[in-house]
Structures are given as structure tokens and as C-alpha cells.
Structure 1
């Protein structure tokens, strides 16, 4: 399928889109493990489809979407106008996402990835990456945040090229991407050319591991030697041990440190080997199909008998030409590159880095790490047991007499000098260094130091008699930060104080932000240790606590928000949402163990219990008005009458009362006429379906009223009819009424109401029956009763 262009606002990416680029040339897809994923192609400038090549539009190739980022227009040697189109994979849409600051403590990879992708059209799957970590990122893009995850969890990433059914692109983190499908790249089969590169820079065979605050492995259970280093099984592959250190800033246990060090040593004690292979992709040929297909991260076997190469290695770079499969190229390696490839581009041979934990605490051994680095550099440059000058190696000046006041040594080499004032195990202990990158020393004495930036460690001490508070002059503005006896103020460009820390008004102390924002993991009122307070907590909860017991809780950490109400520490009710048969309601819910709620004005109210009872209460003049229909699935029980309000022409609104019986019955009536003394009445079939059938236990009862001089009887009652007979065989008109037991109410007669045990012994005293009758119009002249107006 040729490349297809879609509009930047498209979200489906189906069909032919805006245009199909059938004239596209040199279509090239390049992907690097945990790194770049780009698309390039050339399109004739006079192609009519060129008008759709707009930045931020999308191009779909091989089931992946790419964002058009840039174009280059040129004329080739034949005078033909061409345009080079450069695109990035849809994953890099996350470059437009921004993380201001996030500090995640003891979090999982899944929770972190979900947090980073919230608010984007990407969804997370990192459940196969195990372990909890602390991670802090600030002022970065979402892509940079995910890069930190890849380094922290030592995992690999892939992103779906098209959205799923939910319209989102799936970002997946895996311990290791790809599979071994038995694919071979063999000379004279699909291998066109191969280049092998071996890089021994950075190999370490003796590792000095450090943990948090300089923790060593001497006390580790598995460290039988008690030494501060671990030797690789390959240490004898080299003339001298290749030493190096690595700091695991968040490890506090010696056994855990020893295990982590072994795992790390296994990744750095062999040279890094890469194979650059130009190959023919056999999966493009019909006779092979997907059998010979490879993906990024796959492990493949490379065979070239003439070069003596027969190895397994992973695909870490993959350059493919979908329409020119013979031009494909892969890079295979025995190591995992990073998203920014720090190991090969930015770090030096000993992997010396600025050791800072994710929570910002400087490791106490960062200086020793640098010293170890520069010491190794000197040993690599020269043998310094004697004072010598060697071409290209440097100069060593030394005074080997320990009694001399000038006992010590200075080494000057290419791009570095070093100074030592003591020997350890017969060798100079180099502690002071200078390179083009800067100076490192245990102690620097100076009258004045000028610098744009000075970083001070946590163990800083001050000379006796020196007050560090005087290091900041009061009443002086430091880049719009003003400090005086009342505290600290931050001014905006117009000179207005926007943040005040200290005495923000006379006699009141605290933090005041004017038209600004405050951020914190937890914000809490009251004094420290107080049992009565209001707190905004990390799980997006607002709690109100009285005497150590929660009174009100508002949370928004679920898919919807809820408000919970408590009494004496027991949750009574919640306000939130409720779904019934797909219909969403705002809900006030009683919670366990009582599961009861009440709406009350003090004089009247509605009380709902867990068993489904709903009680309406009020004084004797209370009238509960419902302007719409009322549906009751389990019946209506009333101490008073059940009335219908009717509107009369001359007497206004009046009440009509229902006719009630000991049993639940339905009735029908009509007027019929006898012919020669006989009349058959066929009952309404719909009406019949509402009643129990005519049986001995549930008989139909018929009442007759003659309108002429007739002597009537019911001769027969059938299942669907009854027959009326006149004794003398006369003809005439009569009225009839029939009733029967309501379906489902057999043998129910003068039943009890709700559980009477819920009423106390004095319930009769609380019901003023006389007042109730009066309010319901059961006494006096009904015409004198005033009825509240009811509107439809």
C-alpha cells in the first residue's frame, strides 16, 4: 500500500485520507531501540498531491502513523524539482506534552506511565515491568519523562502506530522487546554486506560498588572475601584489572547492593560488539512471507563462514525501505542503547557521572568517584614510579622523602595535571586534579572565589564565630527576591510582592501567595500533631477531622468524585454518582453498616431505610405534593384516606375517596339488554389478564341491577363471560358489576402493614387521629375543606 496522507485533525486514519502518494520515492523508515523512529521520502515537487504535504498532517506507512515535521525542496542534477519529506512517529506527539514537576515515591512503572500519559491520547501498559522506584522529573516533555523511566526500570519501549478501539495509542514498556523467531542473516542468502565493530572502551573487570551515603559491600552476606570490590570472571583476559566504580544511589542494604553490582558487572565486563548488516528482507518475497520477518529488538543469528562469524545478536537499529526491500539495513549488538544514547555519546570510558539520587540528595562519595576516575586516567597515561619524561605521556615530578616538608608529587600529562601528598600501598594517592573540564580537590583555599554557580554539599561547616545568616544582606533585592527582618518576598516585574514568607502582616506569620499558586504533597491546617484539622492529601482527598475522627471526606482519586459524611468516626452517607440500567444519577447514599439516609427540615422529612422503606413525616397540616406521577412497585400504605383531586365547575377543587375492601380486587361494570330472557356478557380480555381466574378459591362476584320489571339471576359464570337469565323469559335492560381477586393477591386479606416492631409502644400517642381526620377532610362538611392547588 502506498503512503497515505491524513489531515492533522483526523482521528480515525481510515480509508484513502486526503491523498495517496503513489509517486513517492526513496521511502525510508528508521527505528532505533529506545530511540528514534522516523520516516523520510521524496516526492516530485510538481505532484498534485504536494498541496497535502503540510506540517502536522499525518502519513501512514506499513500500519504506522508519522507526523510531518519538515520538508526540503531541491532540484536534482537533471533539473527535476524534488521535495524531501521528514516525519516522526506518532509517539513523538508527546514532545508537545509538558511535565512541570512530578515526584513519585515508591511507585510502579504502570502507575508512573499512566500519570505521565494522563491528558494525552496515549494509554499505558507497563504491567510486565516489575519493581517500585522513586522518580522525580521537572520541566521536561512527556518523552523525556518516559526516557527517565526506561533508565530507572532498565526496560524497553514500543508504541502502537495506530489507535485502538478507544481512539488511543498504546505505549508499552517491556523488560525486553522482541523475540527469537529463528531468523538467520546468512551470506549468499540475504546478507549483502557486513561490518563488525568491537569497542573495548568502558570495559570494567574490577568493580567498586557504592550504595546510598557511601555504603559498601564489605558487610554483604555473599561477599566471602570481605573486599570492597568484585572481580569479573573475565579479569584474566587482560594484562591488568580494568577498574571502575558504580553508585546505586537508592540502595541501603549491603546484600541488595552486592546483587545489583553483580548484575551490573555482567553488562560491562565484555567489549561492546555491533554488526552493521545490509540485507535483503526476505519477508517481501512471496515464497518466504512473514517467516523471515524481523522486528526491532528481535534476536537473530548472523552467519558468514568466510569471516568466521556465527553469533546471536539483537536488532538495535532497523532501517527498512518498504518498497525497496533489497536496501534494508540492520544494526545488531550485544547491549541495549538508551533513548538519548548517553553511554556511547556523552559518558567517558569509566562511566563517571554526577551521582545525584532522584530525590535530590547528593551522594557523599561523589568526590571519591571523580578521584578514582582521574587516578585511572593517570595510570593509563604513564608509569609514575620514577621521575621520568616520556613523549606523549607526560612529566612526573616527585619528592619521595617522607621526612621532607615538600614530600609529594605532581604529574603533568596531556590535558591533565594531578597532585598527591601521600602514598598508599607504595603508590601516590592522587587527590587533586585539573583538566579542561575543571578542578577537583579535597581542599581549595582562596581569599575570594567568583562564580556564576556554586554547588555546596550537605556537610558544609562554618568557621567558629561566623554567622551564616550574615551571608545574605538584608534589605537588598536579589533578582526580585527581597529579604529583610520580616522574612522573604518575591516581587513581580512591576515591583508587587507576589510571594511572602515570614511576617506577611503585623503579628501574623506564614506563607502568602498573591494571585499565585501553592503546590504541595500535603497541605494541612492546625498545629503539628493537632487532632482537629483540615488536610489536602496526596491521594486527592480533602479531609476534615475533629478530635482525631474524620467528619467529612471529599475525594477525587476515582473515576468520579465523592463526598463522605461521618458521625463519631463512622461513615454514614456519601454524595456522588449512581448508575442504574445505564442511566447516571447524582446520588445521596447511606453507607454500611446503617445504610440509612434522611432529608429533614426539623419539622418534616423523608427517611429511607436499608430494607427499602421510605417514610414521609410532618405535622398534622403537612401535605406531601408530587406534581408528576408516582410509581410504586411494592404497594402504597397510608394511615389516611387515598383521595383523588377533581376540579369542579362551580365548587373548585374537591376530594373524592377510594372504595377499599379487605382484599385487593379489580372490578368492571356495564349496561346490557336481555333478549327473550337471556343475555351473555363477554368480559374484556385485557381486564381478565389482571385478575385471578374464576375458581372456588377466587370466584368472580356479579351484581345485577334491573332497569325494567325484571326478575334476574346469574345463570352461569365462565372463564371469560357470564350469562344472565330472566325468570319469565322477558326482555329488558339491566346494569351489572363484576369483581375478582387481583392477580398475585390470592389469600391476602386484611394483611399487616410494615414490621410493627419498628414502632415503639407509644406510637398511637404520636398520631393525633382526630387532627389527622380533620386534615384529611374526614369530618365536617366536605364543601368547607380547602384543598391546596395542584398543577399538572
Structure 2
């Protein structure tokens, strides 16, 4: 069964959209060459609608190793008056368009691994038995280029192999087909066998010559066992330069040389090598055959090659040439398969590939091959049912465009001056008539055909025709050859109900049902009007070239009226507006799409109890929508941004003035953050930032948790004054920064100091342990500030080891560093050289060691055991010097503590304090 799938139908596991009944459907394939399906079908409405470019044909392929039914993508079609031709390729070749490889680099992979990487992420897959490991790079290639392109990185060039297409899978094996014992005997003058024997490279007598011209004697040559199978001797000199006589040599022999002490030994080896050449088949010609199975099926000798109908692409065949008396092993390199009858039509055997000769030459061969050259009569024992074509004045059109036996008899008058100029053809297509040639002059332009399915003619001149005898097909009026063609429908009184002419269609009375207009014709209408029991529809379409299309439509039903206007500006912008009126609502909508990157949409829907408006915008995948919903009870606005111009008032308790200021009797702010001007901010986490003035009340801390802010009993205060941080409490226990001396200071984050850090206690780091909880590890203190680094090394076979000094570490120290070594074994070890960037260790060979490098911190090299450390009593004395000033500065703050709880009073305090 041969099926067609329209371009949008990709469910190939189910039946197709239509079952085809083609006149011809042939599949041709060659090893690592083009695979193609050619189909010819009588034109019908369904076939014209479905059989087009990009549709898919499912047909049997008859190739061993792949699925019986294969998918072919139509890439070209051609129509004549009554048939349509379609040409298709395997669907795997779609990968040249929709499988792009931006950057793929199968490295050190076998064939299967490479195919998996190349097909990754696509609907295509690969299968191979190639175990060769190789590497290739595919950058900006499609999958077909990557597999079989001209680039040296192509799969077939890197991994090799032969291709079978299996729908969306590609099979690339080292060798397709197999040797299943197929044999064929050739040598008869059969109509369906064409033989090509290339004997240029055949050798039946070898003259072997060794190094320095040494040859055999008595005789000087070696003959093939098949030398008498040919009419003359094919002799050739074959040189074996690696066969040498010892006395002819100078110096040492090469790796591949065979050196003999005596001449008889050398001559015996030459004869042995020549005999091996004949075993390899050098005395057998390269023979290729084209076998047309259909032509030879009726011949007596068909029994010698009938096993060939079981052969498949790539199979090995033992071919015996009876005239030459030789047998060659050749392969099936090409097949032509009839998908309708599911049988092989033609095989090509051998490595040679040639073009098919024209039809006249094949006819001549068919005739001469069946005539006894002695008396000119037919050889009845050789051929059954073959006519003497020339004596019967018949023309056998075997290889016309249809490539099938459809035109058996041709009557033609080729004299252009004759009144009877033209042609009549009789065949399986019926009767065809032509009175002119095609434009290129190669074929008759058939304009009339009478077949079992009906008659087709450009002109029918007759009297009355009964319409009830007309079934199917297409009636064409008007056009270049019938300018005033008119189609009319009359009522009983002779009035015109409907007319159609070159100016269009005019409906005066009645209605036109949709089913009465074919789908093919609807697409060509500029305007349509349809009336039936369900609706009244009107549509007008205008196309301004390929750049702009205008369309408007109106549809009226019992429950709705819909009007729509659209405009398409190429593929870049589409505009559409519509209005729909029902008993429940009135809906208006406007759309604009700018390619795939931006789309705009607005709509208004009005019902008895609700008005809803919406505006949407989509840019690069991001959509923004704003809506307004109005009912008798409420108005709802949803948008990312709302702009209100003029003053906004809510119940006289909240105002937003035109200058941006806000008035409110009460504010309860939950979530988010609040900013006042550019100097004051309160975050959602409770953090207060103040940038001016320098005196800012920072925080009040309560002693306990209370149910409300008003009930809190505050004890501690923190504020910033001048360049100092102050901490205070209601009890007057104030602390002045930076001289803070609490018992402990803890920080959850990092602490940085841009000055020195000193302590009277120890310095330690807390580390986690697996079995002993957290432990303190103490710092290693030096008399001077120093940095250090360490590592391991090993001397080489010479007892040397070069250690690089980290360039970053080297820039943190000054003066020459100190290097310490620790040996991990016996032997001498010492530092022999210290340079900028490295130092050298010498000693026992292959001796492992550890090293440590120390250097004084850059900028602090002069520090060593300083004694200017303040004592506790000194710190107390320094702090007492500031006590008086501190109390004076704290006093105004404490005096105005209560006022600081209100913003207005705080502002006045700030102003008076700095005034």
C-alpha cells in the first residue's frame, strides 16, 4: 500500500491522509549515492490537494536490512494535463535543514559513539558496526554535511562505511549486504542484460623484475591459468624492488628488503610472487552488469539468473561469463524497484556505474538480440511474445517520462507541412491524441485522452450534453482561450439565479452552500458570501503582492454578530481588530504582532454588570498585562505602573498632592522600606540609615519584649555624634567609642582593621574536629612580623630540584627569604642557590624533602620586639581626660531625650544643636 501524508501530519505510525493508486511508483538507490522515489498519478481533487512539495509518501522499498515501508519527502512536482509527477527523497535527508551542529567534536570515538554525539538532541539516530576509533570536528554543519560532505572531517572520510537510510535512522556499516550464495551465468545476447567488462588492467602474463633489473630465465615470464580464456595475451612488467641479490647491494638492506645469496633463489621468489598476483584476481576483468528483470522474465536463459530477484543492495554475486570462461565476485551496487508490484525491475552488478542509453538504442538491442543473423527470422526458442517492431510499424515507448509500459503503439505524422500532422498513441493509459509538440520539441503535447476513467480534452464541439452524465473533474470557463466563458443558473421562469464569468460570481437569488465550493477554488476567491440555515457570512480579501494582505469578514448567527478586520504586512507585522456582539456581552479586541519578538493586545468587554478592559504586551518572551475591572460595587486596577495626574484624595484622610508631597492622619506601614528625602531610610528588616545631620538618633533598645511599641520600657540608646559612636542607657552608663572596653565583643561577620591589632591574651583560631568537638589552635608568634610558605619536593637523577617561589607571596616580603629543609630519607641535602622567583636544592638523588620559606613582611621589616605597649592604668588615665568633654556633649542629648521620640521636635533639636 502506498500512502500520502500531508506536510503537517507527522504521525507516520498511523494510516496516511490518503491511499494512492499510482500509475507508476519506482524507487532507485545506489551504494553511497542518491536514493530517490518517482511517482506518477492521475490527477484527482484529493491528489492535487495532498501531493505537493513537503508532503510525505510511505511506500515499500524492498531493501534488506531496513523497514519494509519507508518514508520519502516530496521535493519536486510536475503536472501535465491529466497526471502529476512527484519526486521524493528519504526523510532522513530533512536533517540537511533541521539538524544543525554548531560545535561538536567526537574525540577518540568509535563509529557508534561518534554518530550518537552527532545526532544528540535531534529526532535522528545512527547505527553502525564500525569499531574504528577516530576524531573529527563539526562546526556550523548540518547533519548531512557532517556525515557525507566534502570536508575531510566528514564521517564517511574519517570512519568510512556504506549507507542505508531507514526513515529517521541512518545505518552506516563497514559493508552492507552479504554473500548469500547468489550466482548468475551471463554471455547470451539477452535483451535485459547489458555487460561492461573493463579489461584494461587485466594481466595474463607477468614479467617479474627484481632490484637492479634481475629477471627470470627459461622462461622470463609467468602465465596465468586463464591465459587461454582471452583472444590475446595481456602481458605486463611488474617490478619487485624489494627483492635483491646480495652482490647487487651496497650498505645495509632496508627493513622490507628480501636479500638472496644466489640468482636461482631470487628467480624462484619472483615466480612465487607472480603466481600470488593471479590468485588475487589480476587476470580477471572488472565486469559490471545491468540486469532488467522485467525484460528477461520470458526468456529461456532466465533460469541462469532468476536467483537475482532475491538479491538486495550490497549483496555479493558470483558472475560467470560463459564466453570468457571466468567467474568474478561482484556486488549489487544499484537497484530499481517497483513499489506497486513490489518487485525488482533492474539490478546493477559490479563497481562500474554508467548512464542508461536512450530508448531507441535499447529498442534496437532488444530487436537484434532476438533475430537469427543467418536468415533474419525470430528465434522462437529464445523469446516469447516479442514483436518484430520495425516490420509492424509500431513504436515501443519503453523509457518515456513515465518509465513504464504505458504507450505500446504510436501512430505519428512528423511532416509539419502535412494536413495530418500529429500523433495517436494507444496503450495502458488509453487513447491519446496530439496535434503539436511540447515547447522543447522532445515529445508530443498530448491534449486529448480517453481512458477507462473518462475523457479529457481541451475542446469538445457538440450539441446538447446531459449534465447527469458528468461526474467529478473540473469545469473551466474563461481564460485566454475562452475570453467570454459564462456559467449561468436559471429559475423556472428563465431568470438568472447565479452567473459566473470573467468578472466574478453574481448571486441574485437563493444561497450557496459551503460544500458546493471546492477547497481548491475557495483559496482563489477575492470575496465570498455564504448564506445557510445557521449563519450569514461575508468575507473580502485583497493581497498586495507578497508584502501585504487585507481581510475583512462579517458573520451573523442567531446568537452573535462578529466583525473582523485584519492586515498582514509580510512576515513582520500583523494587525487585527474584531467586535463580537451577543445578548450577554459586547467584546472589542485589537491585536498587533511584530514578528516573533513583540505583540500587543487590547480588549474591552461590556456586560450588564461589569466592564473589563485589558492591555497586554509581550516582548522577547516577557509579558506585561494591565487590567481595569469596574462593577457597581468596586473598581479594580492591576498594573506594574499606575500614573495618576493631579491631586489624589481618599476619604479626606489621605492626600497625594501635585508636588509629590503626602498628607495623612495616620500611617501604618507594613513591609517594604521607607525613604525620607535622600538622607533617611528605614528598611523592612528594621535597619535605620541616616546620612545627615551628623547627630542622628540611631536606635532605642527595650529591656524586655512588650505587646506594643507604646508599652516598651526602653533602657539602651545608640547614636552617632561628630566622629564618635555613643552607647547609653537610662541609668547613665554611657560608653564612648572608639574606647570601648566591654568584657566580650562578638561579630557574626568579618572584622577588618586598617591599623594594628594587639592583645594581652592569646590569639587563636577555632577549628572543627571529627571526634573531639571544636578546639582552639594558637598562633605561631615571631619576634618580627613575618610571612611564610611551605611545600614538598624531590631531587632528580642528578640530585637537583628547582622550587618556584609563588610570585604573589614574593611581593609580600622584603629582603632575602630564609629557607628551611626537612629530609625524608638518608643523604645530604642543602640549598645551593636562592634567586628572585626560585631557589635550588641539591643533594642525594631521588630524595624527597619538605621545605619552608620565611620572609619579613614588606613595610614592617624594621619592627622587632617593640616595647611601646600601653598598660591598663594608662588607658584609664586617657579616658578620664575626655570625661569632662564627654559629659558636656551628652548633657544636651539627655535633656532632649523625651523630645527625640517625636519627629517634629527632633528636627528642631537638630537645627538648634548645629546652629
Fold match by TM threshold 0.5: no
Tell me: higher relative CO, structure 1 or 2? Use CA pairs within 8 A at least 6 residues apart: 1
Higher Cα Rg, which structure: 2
